[in-house]
Amino acid sequence: MVRAENVYKTFYTTHKIEALVDVSCQVDKGEVVVIIGPSGSGKSTILRCLNRLEKADSGHIYIDGVDILDPKTNINKVRAELGMVFQSFNLFAHKTALGNLTLAQNVVRRRSKEEAQEKAMALLRKVGIPDKADSYPDNLSGGQQQRVAIARALAMDPKVMLFDEPTSALDPEMIGEVLDVMKTLAREGMTMVVVTHEMGFAREVADKVIFMDEGQIVEVGTPEHFFKDPTHERTKLFLSQIL
Amino acid sequence: MSNFSITDYLRTRGWRHISIILFFVMVGAVVGGIYVATQRVEYVWRWYRVPQYFYYKDTIETRAEIEGEVASLVAKGDQVEVTVRGDGEEEVYLVPADSLRVDEGDFIYPGDVLGSYQKWKVGILIQGLWLTMAVSVIGVLLGIVIGLFTGLARISSNPALRWSAITYIELIRGSPLLVQIFIWYFVLGTMINAMLAQKGFSQLPPLWFGVTALAVFAGAYVAEIVRAGIQSIHRGQMEAARSLGMTYPRAMRHIILPQAFRRILPPLAGQFISLIKDSSLLGIIAIRELTKATREVVTTSLQPFELWFVCALLYLVLTFSLSMFVQYLERRTAIGG
Ligand SMILES: Nc1ncnc2c1ncn2[C@@H]1O[C@H](COP(=O)(O)OP(=O)(O)OP(=O)(O)O)[C@@H](O)[C@H]1O
Ligand SMILES: [Mg+2]
């Protein structure tokens, strides 16, 4: 479903930052892959490369068989198939929850108003806040905003969902409600790539865990492998700090 | 019982009251000072002469063109048809009934008044005010269109677009509007009109070049306002829109610009207000807007003090009602409102 091959990405600011160094990984259909790693290790960068919000310098990235780094690829078509959920929610501030869910359905998927609204309401019910349909993002709690953001991505009927630390900006008491939505999705067979520090979530639903450090993939394995006997010293060190 | 002392009063509301009184005393002092100063230079205030430049009664007279007798008066609604018959000639005039000055059988010489009535007409100041409003509104509307596209070009990743936008903005903002108006009228205007004349078209009036100068001038400032407005929107909004599969133009149109608009509105209104005031420069290319109109009235009436105050007041009325309107708009477009 998702395949990255030898991906490199370097940022040039005041100095050179090698954010991704020869990263290769694969996510199969229906799989839930959790990416962990210390701050600045390139987790967000690889995720953003997958939908070309960041353009990889070299390597290949295939989404459902389509090479997204090929200039001939219509990236907007690919992105419509990839739902993305951000750490800072990024809900459209001038639209209600319902408006956030219907806009791209109208503009990108060209659905009729009725169809889009029906779909939107069904998804708001699914994430547990149908009563907030007419609220603006500013009037929602963080947990509610993130659930609307997940619903917004789902409204496009994506084949893969990408999550970049979806609970990191939330107050502790709201983390559960967002994770519950994500767990439901995972159980329904959604293909998911999740960057998170929530080890409980990883243990419970991940099929595969990827540990990154300094732009490289250090270790890949099942959750059991990671929590019982990780191979690399860096992994052990990281896990000992976080658990 | 009364333990209310002057210090208590001062501590509570006293200073506020004293400040308010002080403000009005100061305003009074300035106005009084100006008045006293005008007495020194022996200026006679004649406010009663001002209203005629807003509205005046124009006398309209219908005069006979031939010599003869009033042959008949026939009422037609509230008009009267006056037939004058001379030797071999006959003329018919239409005069409002209540303004009729002749009777049947009267003998008339050419130039005699058959009917005379008065009609209210707008004075030169109102005409000037109207023109000022018109050129400012057209100027700012065109300026917004120019500024929107230039602002978008300014943040484009295409260097040709970006550098064109920067060049335009810097050229316009770096030179005086007065000089730009001269260039538009005396240089570009002459060239364009000469070319039109060669092709057999009629000439463009100064007004066109004046409005163009204002629009191009405002456009450069609007472009910077638009750019700042767009850049003030968190980049996560663009990323969210793009990650849903929206193209850049669609994301701009549906996500970024609607949000930027709210932030753009107040500085845009400021630009509009500036443009209303800047339009006073158009007088130099023979466009009779408010300032030019006032100058003309001053030369005929010789009452400069009253008229320049009135002129300033009229500009204030325009700019003040505009800022009121924008405040109303801001409240109406507030998120969730
Ligand atoms: N747009 C950018 N411009 C310059 N440098 C960047 C940019 N995005 C990321 N980086 C740098 O690339 C490196 C990897 O960043 P990335 O955001 O992928 O890390 P991360 O693993 O997501 O960290 P965190 O847990 O803090 O989110 C960091 O050193 C970061 O400073
Ligand atoms: Mg990150």
Interface of A with B (CB under 8 A): 51, 53, 76-84, 86, 88, 90-94, 103-104, 107-108, 136, 138-139, 149, 152-153, 156
Is A167's pLDDT higher than 50?
yes
Ligand in closest contact with the CA of A15: 1
pLDDT digits (tens, 9 = 90+) for A177-223: 999 999 999 999 999 999 999 999 999 999 999 999 999 999 999 99
Rounded distance between C-alpha atoms, residue A221 and residue A211, angstroms: 9
pLDDT at B337: 41
Decide which of 2.60.40.290, 2.60.120.260, 3.30.470.20, 2.40.50.100 is the CATH code for B55-121: 2.40.50.100
Rounded distance between C-alpha atoms, residue A152 and residue A175, angstroms: 18
Pairing status of strand A160-164 against strand A82-85: parallel
Whether residue B243 lies within 8 A of chain A, CB to CB, comes out as yes
Evaluate whether B163 touches B232 at the Cβ level (below 8 Å).
Answer: no
pLDDT digits (tens, 9 = 90+) for B76-124: 888 888 888 888 888 888 888 888 888 888 888 888 888 888 888 899 9
Higher pLDDT, B44 or B180: B180
Which spans in A94-171 are helix H? 97-107, 113-126, 142-154
For helices B124-154 and B290-301, angle between their N-to-C axes, nearest 10 degrees: 150
Rounded distance between C-alpha atoms, residue B297 and residue B307, angstroms: 8
Quote the minimal CA–CA distance from A145 to chain B in Å. Answer: 13
Picking from A149, A186, A154, A189, the residue whose alpha carbon sits closest to that of residue A83 is: A154
Handedness of CA B203, B206, B211, B217 (dihedral sign): positive
Amino acid at B90: E
Pairing status of strand A32-36 against strand A191-195: parallel
Least confident of A15-24, B79-88, B119-128, B147-156: B79-88
ipTM associated with this complex: 0.94
% of residues, chain B, pLDDT over 90: 61
pLDDT at B107: 87
Inter-chain contacts counted by CB atoms under 8 A, chains A and B: 67
Whether residue B240 lies within 8 A of chain A, CB to CB, comes out as yes
Least confident of A51-65, A153-167, B114-128, B244-258: B114-128
pLDDT at B210: 96
Least confident of A10-24, A68-82, B101-115: B101-115
CATH number of the structural domain B124-336: 1.10.3720.10
pLDDT at B3: 65
| Contacts with B263 from chain A: Cβ below 8 Å | none
User: B143-146, long-range: CB within 8 Å, 24+ apart, which pairs?
Assistant: B143/B214, B143/B215, B143/B216, B143/B217, B143/B218, B143/B219, B143/B221, B143/B222, B143/B271, B143/B275, B144/B218, B144/B219, B144/B222, B144/B268, B145/B219, B146/B215, B146/B216, B146/B218, B146/B219, B146/B222, B146/B223
Rounded distance between C-alpha atoms, residue B130 and residue B138, angstroms: 12
Whether residue B250 lies within 8 A of chain A, CB to CB, comes out as yes
Is B333's pLDDT higher than 80?
no
| Contacts with A76 from chain B: Cβ below 8 Å | 245-247
Which amino acids bring their CB within 6 angstroms of ligand 1? Answer: A 11, 13, 17, 19, 37, 39-45
Looking at the partner chain, which of A88, A93, A108 has a beta carbon nearest the beta carbon of B244? A108
Spell out the domain ranges in chain B. Answer: 1-42, 55-121, 124-336
Quote the minimal CA–CA distance from B333 to chain A in Å. Answer: 10
Q: Would the pTM of this model clear 0.95, i.e. be above it?
A: no
Phi and psi at residue A156, to the nearest 5°:
-85, 5
